[in-house]
Structure 1
Amino acid sequence: MADNKITFFGKCDGISVEQLIRYSRFNMNVKHFHNQYEIFYIIEGERQFFFDNKSYNAYAGDIAILDTNLVHTTCSISDEDKGYNRVILYIDYEKMCDFDKKYPGLNLVNYFHNNYGIYHLNEDQRIAFLNLYRDLRHELTKKNSGYQSRVEIATIYWLYKLLSLKHDSTQIHAVINSPKELSASNISAYLEANYTKELALDTISDELFMSKYYMCRIFKEYTGFTITEYVNTLRIKKATQILESSNLSISDVAAELGFESASYFERIFKKIMTVTPLKYRKTHQSVTIEHEELNTLDDSDYLD
């Protein structure tokens, strides 16, 4: 039997939905960010999410609300993990902006930016999301006349109900179960504060009072990233923002982000985003990172 099964996938006009069942323990090797909003609902099983330097445990009936361009990954909570069943609803950034134009009172882009996180749903909220999934699956399968409008209406109605989820008692807080997890969180915070600098592993380990070997091993174990991968991901995420909002040359962007050369920056950018920086700037294309590895290079003495 295969390790996983996609039981449904459908999309239209900036909205897509996927159900996937995994039958065994799984750690996500795709370290990514994307220009879509992601709503991840767990039907059965459990997952650990990592973002904003912290780990969050989520269980059946919980929902993860992820903002655009939020660097994140997921993994199994324990070695005894037997798999999980989840549904993900993706909404393109442009589609969410369109919703805000049509329904300005909702202010959805601002909501996702300020309220992303993991939430525990009550029974009514669980039923509401599963009903949304049922309706979207029906419309995207049958594709009868006017189905695009019905998909949009069903989605916007559920998003309206979603606004009741805010930073309150229903939000699941980060878990720090051990000194190792605290170390991983401290490493991540340091990298996010210093990723534009020339970073030597010896310097990082000295700053954080850890051995280089321990630091690299613990960070990979608890986040799914090598230190090089995480730094390059942060740099490329920032690069997309600079390319979209300024006329800085590629060389200047590379220098500003701490790359040793424009050619190395271009190579890493294309590896992660699948297009060159220049093409990205010209098209402003929204690209989801979907590689098995962001960077095939091992951690070396210096992070280029």
Structure 2
Amino acid sequence: MAVFPQYEDAKTDDRFVAGQQKGTLPFYISCHQIGMSYPMHYHDFAELSFVLDGSGTETINGCSHALKTGTMSLLLPHHIHELTSSQANPVKLYSCMFDMNILFGNPYEAYMNRWIHKIGSDLPSFHDFEGESLRTVSLLIEQLVQEYKESRIGRDAVLRGKLIEVVTYFLRGLMDGKEQTHSPEQTQPVKAWSILRYIHLHYNEPISLSSVSAHFHLHPSYISRMFKEHTGKTVNDYMHELRIARAATLLMASEMSISDICLEVGYDNYRTFARVFREHHQMSPSDYRMSHNRPVISPV
């Protein structure tokens, strides 16, 4: 069955933009109830969720786990994510979206850099809080929400501090080593999702089918066939879609020059970028920017 994750971008997400009207910190939090399902998607901002009530299943980069009261998940940018909620007991959760840069920059919080990028690969993407730790984290989340709703002096500093505190408790939970490892009989799906995740994380670098095959020590034809069966697309086509989707967002929402956007999304040749962009949008990058009422900044 073909898998086509939906792309969501912070700069065009109405909820995220609404949050920015309240302050300068790239941060948004809300509480909502999941219907039967939330479709497969990915985005270029981080997302932290915390289940208040209900039950369901969450799948992150092809690995599924149960959702229950106290489950916290942390998705890094471009991790692929979907939710299924119980009809009888629907999931109610807090969802927090933020720019990853909020967590970095302070030398006293260097542990963030060391561990957070391992989430979804060397570390699980979720942790189930229980007992005293659940009460502690629940209180922190409530304080985070209350601070977000108000416009008091130092609001952004408090939000950042509370977020770092929550993520630190999440990392501590992961270090307990209580999460189960994935079963070995899942080799085929895990390989496919590992390749998909790798492309999502490195699409803006000079990667190709050959470099992907070298990274996973698998023959290019095997990767090509498995990837096509899993996504319905070739590795190169999928990578182009990721790059062009990101480029389109930057053209609409940023002041970057088109040449900088070309490099930012992974193309080292402007002609190739312009050709692929036209194939996807039936117009040049500059025309696309103008059609969305953005000034054209020279590509050279």
Query: 1:39 is matched with which residue?
Result: 48
CA displacement 1:207-240 (0-9 Å, x = unmatched): 379899xx64xx36xxxxx546854456569999
Q: Scaled by the length of structure 2, what TM-score is found?
A: 0.58
**Letter paired with 2:116:** F
Query: 1:185 is matched with which residue?
Result: 190
CA RMSD in angstroms, aligned pairs only:
4.8
Query: 1:59 is matched with which residue?
Result: 67
SS in 2 for 1:71: coil
Matches within 5 A, 1:1-304: 12=23, 13-22=25-34, 24-29=35-40, 31-34=41-44, 36-43=45-52, 44-51=54-61, 54-60=62-68, 61-67=70-76, 69-76=77-84, 83-98=90-105, 100-101=106-107, 104-116=108-120, 117-174=125-182, 183-189=188-194, 192=198, 196-197=208-209, 207=222, 216=229, 219=230, 226-227=232-233, 230-232=238-240, 253-254=266-267, 261-267=272-278
Q: 1:249 and 1:121, CA in 2 relative to 1: closer, same or farther beyond 3 A?
A: closer
CA displacement 1:87-127 (0-9 Å, x = unmatched): 122331232224x24xx245323321124522222222222
1:57–1:77 Cα contact (<8 Å) kept: no
Q: 1:263 and 1:237, CA in 2 relative to 1: closer, same or farther beyond 3 A?
A: closer
Q: Scaled by the length of structure 1, what TM-score is found?
A: 0.57
Q: 1:157 and 1:77, CA in 2 relative to 1: closer, same or farther beyond 3 A?
A: closer
SS in 2 for 1:76: strand
Q: 1:270 and 1:139, CA in 2 relative to 1: closer, same or farther beyond 3 A?
A: farther
SS in 2 for 1:74: strand
CA displacement 1:271-292 (0-9 Å, x = unmatched): 9xx9989x9xx9xxxxxxxxxx
**Letter paired with 1:91:** F
Identity of aligned residues (%): 11
**Letter paired with 1:87:** Y
Q: 1:114 and 1:269, CA in 2 relative to 1: closer, same or farther beyond 3 A?
A: farther
Task: Give the distance between the partners of 2:279 and 2:73, measured in 1 at CA.
Answer: 29
CA displacement 1:177-211 (0-9 Å, x = unmatched): xx8x654434334555797239xxxxx99737989
**Letter paired with 1:122:** E
SS in 2 for 1:132: helix
Q: 1:33 and 1:118, CA in 2 relative to 1: closer, same or farther beyond 3 A?
A: same
Structure 1 or 2: more helix by fraction: 2
Task: Give the distance between the partners of 2:112 and 2:130, measured in 1 at CA.
Answer: 22
Q: 1:264 and 1:122, CA in 2 relative to 1: closer, same or farther beyond 3 A?
A: farther
Task: Give the distance between the partners of 1:209 and 1:158, measured in 2 at CA.
Answer: 40
Task: Give the distance between the partners of 1:210 and 1:153, measured in 2 at CA.
Answer: 46
RCO higher in 1 or 2 (8 Å CA, sep ≥ 6)? Answer: 1
